[in-house]
Chain A
Amino acid sequence: MKAFTYERAASPAEAAAAATRRPGAKFVAGGTNLLDLMKLEIETPVHLIDVNGLGLDKIEPTAEGGLRIGALVRNTDLAADERVRRDYGVLSRALMAGASGQLRNMATTGGNLLQRTRCPYFYDTNQPCNKRVPGSGCGAIDGFNRQHAILGVSEACIATHPSDMAVALRVLDATVETIRADGERRTIPIADFHRLPGDTPHIETVLRPGELITAVTLPPPVGGTQLYHKVRDRSSYAFALVSVAAIVQSDGSGRVALGGVAHKPWRVEAAEAELPHGAAAVAKKLLEGAKPTQENAFKLKLVERTLAAVLAEAKGARL
């Protein structure tokens, strides 16, 4: 690990200012992904700003009837919150489908959104990777890419975003609140938060340097049957091959988003109009423009079948 200096920030604005002052500085919250990458010298911050003491660890009701989740709320606490379990079940389900008990106790809401891909070519510093070293090429495109993306891919990168939580937030239309060094706050819809790789896969979100996530806000509950199905190589503690977050209403309408298939949670609102017509019709719209590799083409069928399982379970729950 490269050496770094360390400070504990006293307020969100001060943290953002400190990050702007020191090029190469990074925020650390749970640290579960950042420290892992620092050990491999994939991340080499010169300065760490610990944001754990900023008081951003509360879940509060909003005036609109939703919930405002502090960026430092741990994944365990968010999944266990009674309001989340009752009104936003898909979020609780998605969180519990991710990582291990130990990691969920450390990992934060903001950090979960900012975790980096687990593409093995990104992790292997002997391999080319446009995300790790821009312009060096992509080892995955002609390599072992069974786990990789089938949607929104580019010539530069076919990595997936590993978060389960983000897929649920996408189907819930969450927004991300941030603060910058000058004290300016902004709200970013989750749909716009993560970027597709294009020719700059190393830039993964729309956050500006030094911009700090302070909260994630959920709109008022929309009811319905809320499900999260995750298909993976083992039944626990593994990243998704394909996951489906769904909210299905009693009339059969609803929302669906996919994980494990793209550089960001994948939701196509036009596909949701097909929900009453079944999984095949929805999958066809969701997968428009898909560019699978020979090794991960199975994900096309897996998306449809996982959708079918989710819709069947939602139907069963309504009976």
Chain B
Amino acid sequence: MSLNGAPPMQPPETHDLSRRDFLVLGTSTVASAAVTSDMPAQEAPAAASTQDAAAPATAKASFQVNGMPCDLELDTRTTLLDALREHLHLTGSKKGCDQGQCGACTVIVNGRRINSCLTLAVMQQGSEVTTIEGLGTPEDMHPLQSAFVKCDGYQCGYCTAGQICSAVAMLDEIKAGIPSHVTEDLTQAPQLTPPELRERMSGNLCRCGAYSNIFDAINEVAGGQA
């Protein structure tokens, strides 16, 4: 018998369980064991709705992801990144540092790129979220996805979804006339120069060091003026 009193986990009927499926199964089993070993199962929801801060609290979060409405009831601690990956199973957005330094979790919310690890899902009520899965598909790639393939803009690929989401929104920021640290004349519209593209992408790190190819891919989509 397992720790939480549930029937023993059935072995998968086939052996093609992916590494990720295996990890997800393992995590959910551990999580439910942790909750139910402390308190009777029927008491858990009641505890969550009280003002007792020691008990996990839940709240509703409704937003759109890639055009699809999502209504979730989440532990208030759930970041947007964890909601996307663990609850909506959109695993394109990656958890790198989980502290806003690496940019692997970059998604586009209401047209703007943000670090999805540094916002709570419950704070995104009514937002429109676009992840890498919403930019394109393997059959119908976004121009930046195609350019990353063409220019070999990655090595391990872990930062790629964040790089592409960031670059898509970054090019829109230049179009909207938003200046950067390297914009020389604040009263003029910023230009698509190499220093502008590089400065604006500094929130996306690549441990493999594929920066020159990443730059080529972005520059190609930007029109090659840079």
Contact = CB atoms under 8 A, between A and B. Distances in A.
A35 B53 contact: no
B118 A4 contact: no
B123 A4 contact: no
B200 A101 contact: yes
B76 A85 contact: no
B106 interface: yes
Interface stretch (B12-20, B152-160, B179-187): B179-187
A1 B118 CA distance: 13
B94 interface: no
B32 interface: no
Contacts of A39: 98-99
Interface in A1-49: 1-6, 8, 24, 28, 30-32, 35-36, 39, 46-48
Nearest to A50: B123
Nearest to A29: B123
> Most chain-A Cβ atoms within 10 A of its Cβ — which of B106, B179, B200?
B179
Chain B facing A: main interface SS? loop
A48 B187 CA distance: 39
Interface class of chain A by DSSP: mixed
B76 A237 contact: no
B53 A46 contact: yes
Interface stretch (A91-99, A204-212, A284-292, A296-304): A91-99
Contacts of B99: 36, 39
Contact of B77 (A1, A47, A92): A1
A124 B99 CA distance: 14
Interface of A: 1-6, 8, 24, 28, 30-32, 35-36, 39, 46-48, 50, 52, 76, 79-80, 85-86, 89, 92-93, 96-97, 99-103, 105-106, 235-237
21 contacts: A1-B77, A3-B56, A4-B53, A6-B57, A30-B119, A31-B118, A35-B79, A52-B123, A79-B178, A79-B179, A80-B176, A80-B177, A86-B186, A92-B179, A92-B186, A100-B100, A100-B203, A101-B173, A106-B114, A106-B118, A236-B198
